[in-house]
Amino acid sequence: MSEQLREEKRKIEELHEVASEMEACKSKAEVYRLAVDAAEGILEFDICGIDMEEDGYLVPKASSSEMPNDGYEALEADEGLAGRTFQNGESFLIPDVRTMSEAEPVQEQYRSILSVPVGDCGVFQAGSREAMAFDEDDLELAELLMSHVTEVISRIDSQSALRESEEKYRTLVEGSHDAIFIHSDERFRFVNDRVSELTGYDEDELLGMPVSKVVHEDDRDRVSELIERREREGETPHYQLRIRTKDGDVRYVELSVQSISYDGEQAHLGSARDVTERRRRKQKVERQNERLKEFASVVSHDLRNPLNVAQGHLELARETDERRHFEKTGSALGRMESLIEDLLTLARQGQDVRETEPIDLESVVRRAWATVSTGTATLDVDDGLGEIEADDGRLQELFENLFRNAVEHADDGVTLSVGTLDGGTPCEESSPNLDAEDPPAAFGTNGFYVADDGPGIPESEREKVFEHGHTTADDGSGLGLAIVSSIVDAHGWNVRVCESESGGARFEVATA
């Protein structure tokens, strides 16, 4: 991981820590102060401040310690760059205010400015006396910080309204993006519509239901301990847990809970947010970081070997002028080119699939076979493969790599077969490419397979074949099946390997 990536990762982690501190704030003023302090200390912005809209004006609420003594005054909510940011809900990065009229009005000492909306209720701005002081990374981090501010002040507003009256509370929470609920004696007493959407249970089913019923079975003991501690010590914890929906799906939620009085009795008010997608994005970043490490390993080791061979034979060619040394050099350079192409392919396959379309599966299989050096190998394609929703180019590369893998690891004359998952003997035990943190799920019955009558893959090796760099061939890069796994991941499918009916290898891809 590069120094820049490590630095950005550090800043993101510290901003999330600040977000946790904000959750404990009792007033908006505390939130604004924390946000500005974080902008100074973590993002290293010299001059910054938060303005919030009041009666048609953007009114300063918090500013950095480096703010000039004359400071700045309230502006009309449609005036200048701050007004544009507030009105449009759009962020701006101004590299040099002296060359951009939309930055006016601005104090003369500022050369560059960041302007970021605080939800739909205010503006955060950072300024510098130097031109080109901010970049896109600064802008993204500022937007992340303001998203935390927006969430917390929204929660403060919600809780304040709840305390005023139950009627106002109901009006507010029913329109909330968060799942808001009240429970006492460990049973639901009130839920908003978002709770039903999140859990799959309707309101009538939830009311009176034990809270533990929607909590994932592996998290129930921990939740019971947290409830007991809250009742005993009066804490207001902020934590994550898993829930199981009515349909059996597992979702990750982030909770904030506090003690309240409800219908004259002690109860607990909870606010839950579905963070499943955020966790997946985090895991995706972690996988990308791991891929960077793996690429570095290939570059430093696998590419160095043929490079040394090429250099050695080139030196011998200069000394002896024998043609065979040039041939050896050319072979080594060709090996390097093959490795580089595999690396670039693997990097591209790690991206999300953005465009899919119904594709005739047999046509893709035939095209892939025509582009691979198959020698004396033969292909047997079942009738009626049908269509599949996929990215055409990436699906072809998936088959190319499966075909190439079979040909490279089998004897001459190997036969490959392609069919749907309801054809042939399916895998009984497998190593699916599922995220280890998620509970096991059924593999799926819709999809396709590629099988061969070659030597097969030992059972002890099947869990490793999709790992980057794993190969049993002397000239293999160990990236072909990793590319297959990446393409499968990008489509949201699953892949596994087992023994074919003829004793060879059978790769299954479940698309649903």
- The CATH number of whichever domain residue 84 belongs to comes to 3.30.450.40
Residue bearing tokens 């019971």: 224
Residue 164 clears pLDDT 80, i.e. is over it: no
Check whether residue 383 and residue 507 sit in a common domain.
yes
Check whether residue 149 and residue 181 sit in a common domain.
no
- Taking only the tens place, the pLDDT of each residue in 197-248 is 999 999 999 999 998 899 999 888 887 787 677 667 766 567 788 999 999 8
361-386 per-residue burial string, b: 16 or more CB within 10 A, e: under 16: bbebbeebbeebebeebebeebeebe
Residue 486 clears pLDDT 60, i.e. is over it: yes
pLDDT band with cut points at 50, 70 and 90 for residue 438: very low
> Which of 297, 318, 349 is the endpoint of a domain?
349
Check whether residue 382 and residue 339 sit in a common domain.
no
Helices (H), 304-437: 304-320, 323-349, 361-371, 392-409
pLDDT band with cut points at 50, 70 and 90 for residue 174: low
- Calculate what percentage of the chain has a pLDDT beyond 70: 79
Q: What gap in Å lies between CA 103 and CA 80, rounded to an integer?
A: 6
- Taking only the tens place, the pLDDT of each residue in 386-419 is 999 998 888 888 898 899 888 888 878 899 999 9
Q: What gap in Å lies between CA 432 and CA 441, rounded to an integer?
A: 10
Residue 103 clears pLDDT 60, i.e. is over it: no
Q: What gap in Å lies between CA 487 and CA 256, rounded to an integer?
A: 38
Are residues 294 and 468 in contact, defined by beta-carbon separation less than 8 angstroms? yes
CATH at 255: 3.30.450.20
Residue 342 clears pLDDT 80, i.e. is over it: no
Q: Name every residue whose Cβ is closer than 8 Å to that of residue 91 and which is 6 or more positions away in sequence.
A: 85, 114, 115, 116, 117, 139, 142, 143
> Which of 296, 331, 349 is the endpoint of a domain?
349
Residue with the bigger pLDDT between 306 and 250: it is: 250
Residue 345 clears pLDDT 70, i.e. is over it: no
The pTM assigned to this predicted structure is 0.40
Q: Which pair of tokens denotes residue 151?
A: 């969430």
Q: What gap in Å lies between CA 130 and CA 113, rounded to an integer?
A: 10
Check whether residue 432 and residue 455 sit in a common domain.
yes
Check whether residue 94 and residue 130 sit in a common domain.
yes
Check whether residue 201 and residue 295 sit in a common domain.
no
Beta-strand pair 179-184/187-191: antiparallel
Q: What gap in Å lies between CA 456 and CA 99, rounded to an integer?
A: 67
The domain total for the chain is 4
Q: Pseudo-torsion of CA 394, 396, 397, 403, nearest 10°?
A: 150
From residue 472, give the alpha-carbon distance in Å to each of 175, 374, 457, 475. 58, 19, 10, 9
Mapped onto helix, strand or coil, the DSSP state of residue 182 is strand
> Which of 349, 378, 412 is the endpoint of a domain?
349
Check residue 222 and give its pLDDT.
83
Mean pLDDT of 291-310: 62
- Calculate what percentage of the chain has a pLDDT beyond 90: 31
Q: What gap in Å lies between CA 113 and CA 109, rounded to an integer?
A: 11
Residue 144 clears pLDDT 70, i.e. is over it: yes
Q: Which pair of tokens denotes residue 367?
A: 């095209």
DSSP symbols for 234-264 = ----EEEEEEE-TTS-EEEEEEEEEEEEETT
Cis peptide before 306 (omega within 30 of 0): no
221, exposed or middle or buried, with CB in 10 Å at 0-12, 13-18, 19+? Answer: exposed
Mean pLDDT (the chain, rounded): 81
Check residue 264 and give its pLDDT.
80
Q: Which residue in 3, 43, 38, 42 sits closest to 21, CA to CA?
A: 38
pLDDT band with cut points at 50, 70 and 90 for residue 433: very low
Q: Which has the minimum average pLDDT: 26-40, 381-395, 441-455? A: 441-455
- Taking only the tens place, the pLDDT of each residue in 348-390 is 555 556 678 999 999 999 988 887 778 889 999 998 899 999 9
Q: Name every residue whose Cβ is closer than 8 Å to that of residue 492 and which is 6 or more positions away in sequence.
A: none
Q: What gap in Å lies between CA 451 and CA 106, rounded to an integer?
A: 68
Mean pLDDT of 15-44: 91
DSSP element (H, E) containing 83 = helix 80-88
Check whether residue 482 and residue 435 sit in a common domain.
yes
Q: Which pair of tokens denotes residue 207?
A: 């009311």
Check residue 435 and give its pLDDT.
39
Mean pLDDT of 150-167: 77
DSSP symbols for 62-82 = EE-TTS-TT----EETTSHHH
CATH at 326: 1.10.287
Q: Which has the minimum average pLDDT: 192-196, 305-309, 401-405? A: 305-309
Check whether residue 365 and residue 505 sit in a common domain.
yes
Taken as a whole, the chain contains a residue count of 512
Residue 302 clears pLDDT 90, i.e. is over it: no
Check whether residue 247 and residue 359 sit in a common domain.
no
Check whether residue 157 and residue 169 sit in a common domain.
no
Are residues 359 and 332 in contact, defined by beta-carbon separation less than 8 angstroms? no
Residue 149 clears pLDDT 90, i.e. is over it: yes
Sign of CA dihedral 369, 371, 372, 376: positive
From residue 256, give the alpha-carbon distance in Å to each of 236, 238, 269. 7, 5, 8
pLDDT band with cut points at 50, 70 and 90 for residue 140: very high
The domain in which residue 512 lies consists of 352-512
Check residue 89 and give its pLDDT.
92
pLDDT band with cut points at 50, 70 and 90 for residue 440: very low
Residue 143 clears pLDDT 70, i.e. is over it: yes
Residue 359 has phi, psi (to 5 degrees) of: -130, 135
Residue bearing tokens 């039903």: 196
Q: What gap in Å lies between CA 304 and CA 332, rounded to an integer?
A: 10
Residue 472 clears pLDDT 60, i.e. is over it: no
Share in percent of the chain as helix, strand, coil (round to 5)? 45, 20, 30
Cis peptide before 105 (omega within 30 of 0): yes
Mean pLDDT of 84-107: 79
Q: Which pair of tokens denotes residue 64?
A: 């950095």
Residues forming beta bridges with residue 388, ordered by sequence position: 359
Check whether residue 317 and residue 411 sit in a common domain.
no
Check whether residue 299 and residue 408 sit in a common domain.
no
Strand order in the sheet with 179-184: 187-191, 179-184, 265-274, 250-262, 238-244
pLDDT band with cut points at 50, 70 and 90 for residue 107: low
Residue 429 clears pLDDT 50, i.e. is over it: no
